[in-house]
Amino acid sequence: MTMKALLNPESLYNREVLHKNYNFVLPAIKPARQAKVRYVINQTLAKGCTVDQLSVLPRSNRTDPSLPPPSIMEKDAKKGILSLIERGLIPPAAELTLDPSPVRHKRARLYNAEEATRKQLQFPSTPLRPHPLTNIQEEIRTLLHHGKITCSSAPLRRPSPASGEFRGYSFFISSGNLPHEQDPEFSSFHQRYLLQWGSVVSMLALLQKILRDYAIPTAFVNGDRLAELSQHYELEYRPSSDELLTVLENYDDVMSLITSPGRRFLGADGRYFAASKIQATWKRFRDRRAYLQYRKQRWAAGVIAISWIMHVRMSRMRKRLREIRKGHLDNFRARAKTLAVEWGRISTSRRVVVHVPSLGYPTQIRFGFTGFDRKQNSQMARLCDLLDPNVDVIYVSPVQVLDELQQYYCKLLGLKGAVEEGDPEKVGDLSSRFTIVTPEALNKFPTHHMCLASHLKYSPCAISRIKKLIAGRDAYYVPGVIHKDDVSVADSLNIPILGCEPEISHLYSSKSGARRVFAAAEATTPPGDHDIYSAQQLHETMARLICENPTITKWLMKIDAGFDGRSIAYIDVNKHLPCYPWMVRESKRYGEKWCKKWAQDAAYTKVLCELPDTLDNFACPANREVFPNWVDFLDAYLGQGGIIEAYPPNESVTCLTIDMLIDPTGTVHMTSCGDQIHAENPFRCWGTSVPQASVEPTLLNDVSLRIAEACRARGVVGHFSIDYVTFIDPVTYNQSLWATDLTLAYSDQMAMTRMVLFVTGGHLDAARCQLTVPPPPKPKQGRFKKRDEGKDKGPPPNLSRFSVMSTNLVHTNMAVVHYSVFFQMCRAHGIGFDIKERQGTVFTLVDSSKREELGMLSVGEDLPGALASFARNLTVIHQEISAPNMQGRTNFKAAVDDIESILGTTAQNE
C-alpha cells in the first residue's frame, strides 16, 4: 500500500510517505488546470480550448509508409518523445538514442533491517489503506491509540492538530445539519473536491439521514474518506449504513449511541417508527403464533397421515402373511395325509430324511439364551439314522462345520461295517449317504436370535441345494421344536413334516397344556394347578394347595414356556412359612376330616395372609443366570402364565425321560427310556442312563401309552418325550410315579440313543427297558472237529448293555486344545470304543470353532460300570486340560459328584 501511494502523485498520502520514509519534502504545487475561455456569442456562453491543435502525421504518410516523414517543428519536439510517437511523427519501430542518457547509474545503498525498524518506531505513522471501506475503523483505532481522538458518551469536536502535522479536510455535522457554506473547514473541503461534488453531496445526504434518524448531536466527518467513499460508489451500488459511518472520526461514540436501545425513536419521525415497531412486533407475534399453530397442525396431520398409511400397509401385509401361512398350513395338512397313506411304503423303501434340529422357542426365551446355536447343534447324533441302509440323511447345521469336524463324523459313521462284522479292519465309507448343509444366512442376522428354521427360510442357496439332493426321491422333514418357519421351509421343499402343527406343539408342550393331557390320560401328576396369570390367583391357589397337602414341604412354580429347568422357582414352606407348624398340628388334630373345606378355613385364611411376604422374601429361582431374583421371575411368570406344582416329599427322587413316536398312521412306538442325571441344578437334566432302571417297565409302559393315546387324540404326530419323577411315598412306603412334563420335540436323549444303537449294533426294547447287542462272531473252525467240542466252554457272554450319555459337557479350556490332540490324549489314557466287545466311549463334537462344548456316551455291561467309566473319563479329561488356578467354566466336577452319589445309592440298594 505504501508503494502504491508513493507511485501515485495524486494520492493524498504521497507527500506524507515521501516525508516520513525518505525525509524528502515536496513543494506545494497545485495541479495545473486547463485554461478555458468563454466567448459571448449572441448573448450565450460558449466553451472552447485556448490551446492550438497539435500536428499529427499526414494521411498520405499513414497510407504510404514509404514516403519520408515530415519535418518536426520545435514546438512539437518540446512535447516529448512519447507525444511524437503517439501522434505518428516518429514511427513506432524507430530506434531512438538519447544523448545524454536521462538515466544515471548509481550504486544502491543497502539498509540494515534493525535500523529500518528503529526508524519506523521513531516516526510512527498511520498505516495506509487504499480501500476505505475495510480499513477506516482500523485507522480510527490507531488514532485513538495515539491519543488523537478521545472517546466519551457523546461525540466530541476534533482536537486541534499538532504543529507541522498534516491536517486534511474535516468538518462537523451537528444534529444532522451540514455546516454553513462560509465555514472555513467545509469551504476548503468544497473547493478541494469541487470536481466530484455531485457524488460527495449524495453521500452527505445519506450520512445526514442516518445522523438525523438516530439524533446524533455531533459527528466529526473525515472529508478525505468521504470523498474516497463517494468516488468508490459513484457508479456502483448504494453503500450500507456501516460503510457510511466509517467516514466519522468519532465512530465509536456514534456507534455507542446508535446501538443503544430505543435511540431510533428519538430521531426524525421517531413516533412514526415507534408505532410501526409496535405494530410490527404485534403482527410478528400474532403471525408467529398462528404459524406455530399451523405448523403443529400440519405436523399432526402428517403424523396421522403417515400412521394411517403405515397402518393400511401393515394391515395389507398382515393379511397377505396370514393368507400365505394359511396356504402353507393347508399344504402341510395335505402332505400329512399323503404321508399317512404312503407311510408303509416310505418307511421300508429308499428315502431321504431331512433333519433340521431347530429350537423354535418363543422370542423372549431365544433372546435370553447364550450359545443358542451350539444348543441347537447338540443333536448331530441324528446322522446315525444311517443305521437303516435305506436312509440317506441331510443334516442342516446351525453352525459352520469345518473340515476337521466333517472328517470326524465320516470316520465315525464309517464304523458301521466294522460294528456289524465285529472286525475293526472293515471300516467303510458312508460319506455319500449323508450331507451337511449350512444356511448362508447364519451370520446375516446377528442380533435377531433367530432359530435354525428361520435362518434356513432366508437362505435360498441352501434350500436350492436341498431341493437338488431330494429331487425325484421320497423324503420327509424331521424338525426339533417346530416353528411356523419349519412349515414354510417344508412348503418350499415340497416335502411332508414328521410332526404336528406348530400351534398344537406349543400348546401341549407348555406346562399347563401338559397337565391337561395328563389329566385326560388319567396319569398321576403332582398336586398343583395350572393357568396362573395374576398375583392374587397365585397366592390363593398356593394357599389352597398348601392346606390340602400338609405333607408337601416344597412347592415349585414353573413358567409355561420354560424348558430344561430354566424357568422354575421354589419355596420351602416348612422353613419359611410361619404358620406351617400350626397348620400341620391342626391337620393331625382333624385327622380324616381335614379334607373337608370347613376344616381348612382357618388355616387357609392364615396361610393366605402370610404367603405374599413369604414369597417375596424367601422364594428362590432355580437358575440365577436367567432370573437373578424373585421379582424378575414373578414378572415373567405372570406375563407368560405358569403352574404351581408339588415337589416330591422325599429326599431321594429319580427323574425319568421316555421318548415316544406317533407315526403318521397313528401307531405309537416307545423309542427310548432313561434315568436322568442332574449336575449343577437339581431341576435340569444334564445327562441320562439308557435304559432306565428305576421303575417297573410294565407300569411305565402302561402310563406312557395312555399319555400317547391322549396326545394322538389331540392331533400330535412325530417324536415327543415325557418326564416322570419317582420316589418312595413316606406315608404308604410305596413307589410313586408322577408325570411332570411333556415336550413335543425330538430330544437329545433320542439322538444319543440312535448313536448307541449305531456304534453297538444293538437293539433297544424300550417297553422292557432292555438294551442288547448281538453275540460276538464265532471263530472259524478247521476241517476236523476237536474232541472236546461237547465240553463246557464257560459262561455265555453278557449281551445286555447300559449307556450313560450327555450332550451338555462344558469346559472352556477345550477351546485351546485341537481335536486331534484331544483324541491322542484320550487314546493315551485308554478312552475309546472296543468294537469287538461293543463297549467303550464315543464323543459327539458340537462346534469346530469354539470347541467348548461336546457330548459323550459310555457303554458298559452294567449300569454301575457305565457310570464309573463315564466319571473316570470326565476326571481324566479335566485333569489333562485344566490348570490348578483355572479361571474358566466347567461342569465336569459337578457331574462326577452326582455320578458318585448315584453309585453310592446303587450300592446301598444292592
**Residue 19 pLDDT > 70:** yes
pLDDT at 752 over 70: yes
Q: Is 386:758 a contact under the CB 8 Å cutoff?
A: yes
Last residue of a domain, one of 642, 663, 697: 642
Residues 833, 730 share a domain: yes
Instruction: Look at residue 229 and tell me if it is in a domain.
Output: yes
Q: Determine, yes or no, domain membership for 402.
A: yes
Q: 410 Cβ partners below 8 Å, 6+ apart?
A: 429, 430, 431
Amino acid 35: pLDDT? 40
Distance CA 763, CA 902 (A): 26
Same domain, 825 and 885: yes
Kindly state the average pLDDT of the residues 602-607.
94
Cis bond upstream, residue 779 (ω within 30): no
* Sequential DSSP letters for 26-40: ----PPP---EEEEE
| Same domain flag for 905 and 816 | yes
Q: Does residue 801 fall inside a structural domain?
A: yes
Domain that holds residue 206: 170-267
pLDDT over threshold 80, residue 584: yes
Return the ∠ at Cα 177 (arms to 172 and 182), rounded to 5°: 65
Task: Please report the pLDDT score of residue 54 as a whole number.
Answer: 57
* Pair 637, 657 in one domain: no
In 197-356, the DSSP E strands lie at: 218-222, 351-355
Those residues with Cβ within 8 angstroms of residue 790's Cβ, 6 or more apart along the chain or in another chain? none
pLDDT score at 712: 95
Q: What is the C-alpha separation between 72 and 84, in angstroms, rounded?
A: 9
Query: For residue 95, is it within any domain?
Result: no
Among candidate residues 236, 437, 434, 430, the one with its CA nearest the CA of residue 352 = 434
Residues 610 and 660 in one domain: no
Is residue 713 located within the same domain as residue 764? Answer: yes
Summarize pLDDT for 793-803 with one digit per residue, the tens.
556 778 899 99
pLDDT in tens, 868-897: 999 999 999 988 888 777 677 888 888 888
Cα(526)–Cα(537) distance, rounded to whole angstroms? 19
Residue 46 has pLDDT above 50, yes or no: no
Least confident residue range of 57-66, 221-230, 381-390:
57-66
150 — pLDDT class (breaks 50, 70, 90)? very low
Cα gap 186→191, rounded to integer Å: 9
* Average pLDDT estimate for 31-46: 41
Does 754 have pLDDT greater than 80? yes
Q: How far is CA 537 from CA 516, 532, 548, 555, in A?
A: 19, 6, 16, 15
Residues linked to residue 475 through DSSP beta bridges, in sequence order: 352
- Per the domain annotation, does 377 fall within a domain? yes
Confidence of residue 689 (pLDDT cuts 50, 70, 90): very high
pLDDT greater than 80 at residue 425? no
Cβ neighbours for 627, distance < 8 A, ≥ 6 positions apart = 567, 569, 621, 633, 636
Q: Verify that 443 and 390 share a domain, yes or no.
A: yes
Number of domains in the chain: 4
Q: In the prediction, which pLDDT does 758 show?
A: 92
Q: Is residue 695 one of the residues assigned to a domain?
A: yes
Same domain flag for 638 and 658: no
Same domain for 755 and 889, yes or no, is yes
**pLDDT at residue 120 is higher than 80:** no
**Do 553 and 633 sit in the same domain of this protein?**
yes
- Distance from CA of residue 122 to its chain's centroid? 71
Q: Is the pLDDT of residue 304 over 60?
A: yes
Q: How confident is the model at residue 904 (pLDDT cuts 50, 70, 90)?
A: confident
Mean pLDDT of 395-420: 88
In a domain, 752, yes or no: yes
Q: Is the torsion defined by CA of 275, 276, 282, 283 positive or negative?
A: positive
pLDDT at 669 over 90: yes
The percent of residues above 70 in pLDDT, for the chain, comes to 83
DSSP string for 730-756? TTT--EEEEEEEEE-S--HHHHHHHHH
Over the chain, what is the mean pLDDT? 84
Q: Work out the pLDDT band at 718, boundaries 50, 70, 90.
A: very high
Give residue 131's pLDDT.
38
Exposed/middle/buried for 492, CB within 10 Å: 0-12, 13-18, 19+? middle
Rg of the chain in Å (alpha carbons):
54
Is the pLDDT confidence value at 153 over 50?
no
Verify that 744 and 771 share a domain, yes or no. yes
If one compares 144 and 55, the residue with the highest pLDDT of the two is: 55
Residue among 636, 768, 575 at smallest CA distance from 690 = 768
Q: Which helix (H) or strand (E) holds 857?
A: strand 853-860
Q: Kindly report the CATH number assigned to the domain that includes residue 705.
A: 3.30.470.20
Q: Is 435 a member of any domain? A: yes
- Of 23 and 522, which is predicted with more confidence? 522
Whether residue 430 is predicted with pLDDT greater than 60 in this model: the reply is: yes
Q: What is the pLDDT of residue 13?
A: 75
Q: Are 335 and 496 in contact (CB under 8 A)?
A: yes
How sure is the predictor about 156, in pLDDT bands with cuts at 50, 70 and 90? very low
Domain boundary among 211, 243, 267: 267
Among 237, 267, 297, where does a domain finish?
A: 267
Q: How confident is the model at residue 632 (pLDDT cuts 50, 70, 90)?
A: very high
- Mean pLDDT across the stretch 115-136? 40
Do 638 and 683 lie in a common domain? no
Mean pLDDT of 694-723: 94
Higher pLDDT, 59 or 716: 716
Q: Which residues, other chains included, contact 450 with Cβ-Cβ below 8 Å and sequence gap of 6+? A: 366
pLDDT, greater one: 10 or 831:
831
